[in-house]
Structures are given as structure tokens and as C-alpha cells.
Structure 1
Amino acid sequence: MDIKKQLEGLHLENQLKLEEIPDLDLYMDQVIQLFENKYASSKRYEEDKVLTKTMINNYAKAKLFFPIENKKYSKDHLMLISMIYQMKSVLSIKDIGKTFAKANQRIAEDDVDLEKFYANYMHLMDKNVAGFEEYIDKQEKIFETELDTDIVNDTYLQQVLFITSLTGMSNFYRRAAEKLVDQLELKGEQEE
């Protein structure tokens, strides 16, 4: 089973780079178009939407980012929306809100350089892509050397095992992220 070949086209490296974010403020339709253009190749199904007005409005209502001005989204908003976009399939809106609550306050008070923070985020994402590729290499070796070929004797069963392995790892990462969100909340309560 050639796992890497099967996973071609994931476009994991497809991230909204700092230099791709315009310095001028954008209206909601322009934000949606920017994200649609950037992440279209990452959609599972053609009819899937990357970002919608409803999503952005829900993010604003949940205070996932600081308020917009004159119905326009700044470069800072776009950086936050990009991070939220990556988090939304794993964490609840409530958990994302908890994660960004203090960051938004610090951004509003000019206490954090969001561009430098985002550059660090992008660096971590690049490292995560490389780490994922290494994980896939290790999984292929496990499939080749450690599985009982009398039981896992065809590509279908190998594929099922690999899917369960990926979903298990995904669950581990989600649970770890939730635990860290809970610790952020605890730290916030202790500081009050």
C-alpha cells in the first residue's frame, strides 16, 4: 500500500502567507473571495464552501476576533480568520473564543505584534506539514514490517487500519488541544 501516493493532493502546505494578505482593508465578499481562491484546492468536494458570510458573522458574534470598522476587515482580522479557519474543524467556536480572548485584548491594546505572531504560526504550520510527512513515512514502515499479514492481507484492510490510525491520532491531538484550552481558561480565572 503506497500511502503517500494515496494522500497526494491534500495541499497541506496551502496556507495563507503573510505576503498574500493585502495591506488594505477588505469587505466581507472580498475576504470570502481571498479564502476561496487560496483554499479551493483543499476542498474535499467541489460544492464545499471554504468560508461564508454566515461563518464570518458567527465568528464575529462569538468574539473570535476584535470588532471590525466600517464593515471592513483589516490585515489583522485576516490573519486571525486564517488561524480560525484552520482550528474550526477541530475545536468548537466556544473553545476557539477562549483561545483568542486574551490575544484579541492584547491586539486591541497594541501589546502584541500580530504580524510577527502570525509569522511564527506559519513557521509552526510548515513544521507540522513536515512532521505529518514523517509520520506517514513511519506508518508505511509499520505497515510493511509489523502488521500480521495473515490478517491484514489486502489493501482494503490496510486502508481501514490506516483510516482508524489517522482518526485515532486526530482524536489525540483534538483532546490535547482541548486540554490546553481548559488550562488557558483556568489561568485566566486564577489571574482575576
Structure 2
Amino acid sequence: MTINTEDLLNSILESIGRIDYIRPANIPNIDLYMDQVTTFMEEQLKSTKRYKEDKILTKTMINNYAKNNLLPPPVKKKYTKEHVLVLIFVYYFKNLLSIKDIEILLKPLTDRYFASDAEFDMQQIYEEVCKMEKGRIEQMQESIRDMYASAQDAYEDAPEEEREYLQLFAFICNLSFDVYVKKQLIEKLIDQLPGGRIKK
């Protein structure tokens, strides 16, 4: 097995540096039919796909999200800019959280800020989160470099022909542990929200 993990790491770190978000200004200001929503999301998020044939969002997914209260129903079969913003949140959460957890997390947002005259609206909430996340990219890159360096120091006594795989395995375990711990924290925080498992 010959993987140039250093090159792979640098490529990943560069791609993290290019992470961007769908800017609200790029979301059409007119209400969209479902086909237009799926086409828009596919175009905007295609760089996040692992495999070419993967679908970002399908009609079935959108219908399920509405049925499971993740997304307010469309108005006369049309979806607003706010619907699209909620769908973007759902897209990022669905790889990490259960549908029920996403519903609990988003319900206070959609109840209070969706199509309302509140001081904050969905667009402001979305932009603030994106700004905060963009500000963390360098810190994340540094953390990933540290995990990689730690893995490269592992298995010094292993046979040379096995060391590369074992170090890659250690790096993946390091990254996975980070995700595992943060997922546990996220779930515990969601349990505290209205509708969560912890009853007030």
C-alpha cells in the first residue's frame, strides 16, 4: 500500500480552506417549485458530493422533511428563500444527526423566525452561523495537522511494510474520535431543547 498521506493531508487541508457556504444573495428572490429547489441545491452543493452519482436533495427527501416537521410546508407548492435556508441546515445535519434530533433542533427556529417579523430572521441566523464557521477554518486545519503528526509518531515498532497502513488507521481513528465526542455533545445539548429527551 503506497498512499502519500502527506500529499493527501495537504490536499484535504487546502479543500477545507476553500469551504464556502451558499450565500443568501445567490438564492433566488422568487419562490421556487420543488424541481427548481433540487436543481439549485444540486448546483450549489455539488462540490460536497463524494460520488458523482450521489444526489444532494431529491423530491422524496423534501417531502419526508416536511412530513417529519423539519421543514414548513410549501405555499401553493412553492418554496421560499427561507425554505432553502432550512434545507441547507438539514443537508449538513443529516449526515450527523437523526431526523428526530434535526426536528428538535430546527423547530424553535422555524416556529419563531420562519416567515415572521421577528427581530432576527432566518437569513440573519444563517449568515451569522456561516460567518462563525468560516472563522474556525484555520483552527480546524491546525487541529487536523496535530492529529496527523500524532498518528505519524505511532507504531514506531511495527514492521516497516505495515507501518504506513497502521499510521493511516491511527489518523482516521483520531479524526473519528473527534467526531464521536462532538456528536455526543451535540446530542446531549439537543436533549435539553424543548421536545428533547430531558424533561424540564
What range describes the TM-score normalised by the shorter chain of this pair?
A: 0.7 to 0.9
Q: CA deviation at 1:174?
A: 1.1
Provide runs of 4+ in structure 1 moved above 4 Å: 8-12, 186-189
Question: Which runs of 5 or more structure 2 residues have no equivalent in the other structure?
Answer: none
Q: Partner residue of 2:132?
A: 124
Helix, strand or coil at the partner of 2:55: coil
Any idea what the Cα deviations from partners look like across 1:120-154, whole Å, max 9, x if unmatched? 1111221343332121121233235x434223853
Identity %: 33
Any idea what the Cα deviations from partners look like across 1:61-119, whole Å, max 9, x if unmatched? 11112222011110111111111110011011111101111211102443232111111
CA separation of 1:9 and 1:130: change in aligned 2, threshold 3 A:
closer
**1:115 paired to 2:115:** no
Higher relative contact order (CA 8 A, sep 6+): 1
Q: CA deviation at 1:6?
A: 5.1
Match of 1:98 among 92, 95, 104: 104
Using structure 2 for the length normalisation, give the TM-score.
0.84
Q: CA deviation at 1:17?
A: 1.6
Q: How far apart, CA to CA, are the structure 1 residues paired with 2:50 and 2:159?
A: 28
Q: Partner residue of 1:74?
A: 80
Q: Partner residue of 2:170?
A: 161
CA separation of 1:10 and 1:59: change in aligned 2, threshold 3 A:
farther
**1:172 paired to 2:181:** yes
CA contact (8 A) 2:31 2:80 kept: yes
**1:4 paired to 2:12:** no
Q: How far apart, CA to CA, are the structure 2 residues paired with 1:6 and 1:158?
A: 18
Query: Where do residues 4-23 of structure 1 align in structure 2 (5 Å cutoff)?
Result: 4-5=9-10, 7=12, 10=15, 13-23=19-29
**1:61 paired to 2:70:** no
Greater shift, 131-140 or 80-89, is seen at: 131-140
Using structure 1 for the length normalisation, give the TM-score.
0.87
Q: How far apart, CA to CA, are the structure 1 residues paired with 2:89 and 2:14?
A: 21
CA contact (8 A) 1:64 1:100 kept: yes
Helix, strand or coil at the partner of 1:63: coil
Q: How far apart, CA to CA, are the structure 2 residues paired with 1:134 and 1:9?
A: 12
Any idea what the Cα deviations from partners look like across 1:6-26, whole Å, max 9, x if unmatched? 526756614212221111111
The aligned length equals 189
Q: Partner residue of 2:32?
A: 26
Letter paired with 2:158: I
Letter paired with 1:131: Q
Q: How far apart, CA to CA, are the structure 2 residues paired with 1:130 and 1:31?
A: 32
CA separation of 1:56 and 1:151: change in aligned 2, threshold 3 A:
same
Letter paired with 1:157: L
Q: How far apart, CA to CA, are the structure 2 residues paired with 1:133 and 1:24?
A: 38
Helix, strand or coil at the partner of 2:135: helix
Q: How far apart, CA to CA, are the structure 2 residues paired with 1:152 and 1:37?
A: 47
